[in-house]
Amino acid sequence: MGRLDDKVAIVTGAGSGMGAQTARRFIGEGARVMLADVSIEPTQTLADELGDAACAMKLDVTSEDEWSQAVDATVAAFGGIDLLVNCAGITGMSPLEGSVEPFRKMMEVNYFGTLLGLRAVIAPMRERGGGSIVNFSSINGIAGAPATGAYVASKFAVRGITKTAALELGSAGIRVNSVHPGAIATPMTSKEVLGFDPRPYLSKLASLGRVGEPDEVAQLVVFLASDESSYCTGAEFVIDGGVLAGLSWPS
């Protein structure tokens, strides 16, 4: 028996990294999943690999129209929606005295994209008598970091809307939680994308002395999606190898 048997999910950012691994784990636990991402090619490839329990569609999370289409397509394919994982996100540098554009863009994708997703699934989740929504924040939704104010602000906003949503939607049986990963080995922290390898440095920030794997986060998301977490809502789940445990002496 799977931990997500009979559940239907939308996972955003499912074409890469933690979204892709979450979709894999969900299907392994018996869910049917709409894999949604702005990049359709890798998403479709993964859905084909995962079989009949998976569908793929292009979704830019900043578009209200595309959210509406994603909800309709998921209900048409699988009969309803029980789970939403708002995983899609972007990062980048944004010094306070630099361009204001990254601040607008990251708020648009990371925060507003999450908000639109959350709003889009409320009605179908009410129809099912409840649901679970997992929003991807970050350790940067709990603590600041220099030159990344756009990302930090957007992830604080995700943490804030998670709590408000939990309060508004609890009576409908809809649980809403945020996850706060530290550095995880995905394209977002790769040399290929960044042009340098940040992982040796990031490993030193964690008391476990390494970056995390996407599957370690996906397993936490499975717990939050499943009925095992039935009394968890409005909460923040840190998964960072000990980065936020306290101050370390520089070595």
Kind and range of the H or E element at 176?
strand 174-181
Among 23, 46, 61, 152, binds ligand NAP (CB under 6 A): 61
Residues 70-99 that bind ligand NAP (CB under 6 A): 87-91
Q: Which residue, 5 or 48, is less far from ligand NAP as judged by CB?
A: 48
Among 8, 16, 32, 85, binds ligand NAP (CB under 6 A): 16
Active site residue 151: yes
Q: Cβ of residue 172: shortest distance to ligand NAP, in angstroms?
A: 25
Q: Do 70 and 34 meet the contact criterion of CB atoms below 8 Å apart? A: yes
- Total residues binding ligand NAP (CB under 6 A): 30
Q: Which residue, 4 or 23, is less far from ligand NAP as judged by CB?
A: 23
In 46-170 the beta strands, taken as DSSP E runs, fall at 54-58, 83-86, 131-136
Q: Cβ of residue 162: shortest distance to ligand NAP, in angstroms?
A: 13
If one asks whether residue 150 binds ligand NAP (CB under 6 A), the answer comes out as no
Q: Cβ of residue 115: shortest distance to ligand NAP, in angstroms?
A: 13
DSSP three-state, residue 121: helix
Q: Is 102 exposed, middle or buried (0-12, 13-18, 19+ CB in 10 A)?
A: buried
Among 9, 10, 18, 218, binds ligand NAP (CB under 6 A): 18
If one asks whether residue 37 binds ligand NAP (CB under 6 A), the answer comes out as yes
Return d(Cα 20, Cα 28) in angstroms, integer: 12
Sheet (strand 32-37) strand order: 54-58, 32-37, 8-12, 83-86, 131-136, 174-181, 236-239
Q: Do 4 and 26 meet the contact criterion of CB atoms below 8 Å apart? A: yes
DSSP 178: E
If one asks whether residue 213 binds ligand NAP (CB under 6 A), the answer comes out as no
If one asks whether residue 135 binds ligand NAP (CB under 6 A), the answer comes out as no
DSSP three-state, residue 206: coil
Q: Do 185 and 217 meet the contact criterion of CB atoms below 8 Å apart? A: no
Among 4, 23, 34, 59, binds ligand NAP (CB under 6 A): 59
If one asks whether residue 17 binds ligand NAP (CB under 6 A), the answer comes out as yes
Among 62, 69, 203, 219, binds ligand NAP (CB under 6 A): 62
Return d(Cα 81, Cα 213) in angstroms, integer: 28
Q: Cβ of residue 17: shortest distance to ligand NAP, in angstroms?
A: 2
Binding residues vs ligand NAP (CB under 6 A): 12-13, 15-19, 37-39, 59-62, 87-91, 109, 113, 136, 138, 181, 183-184, 186-189
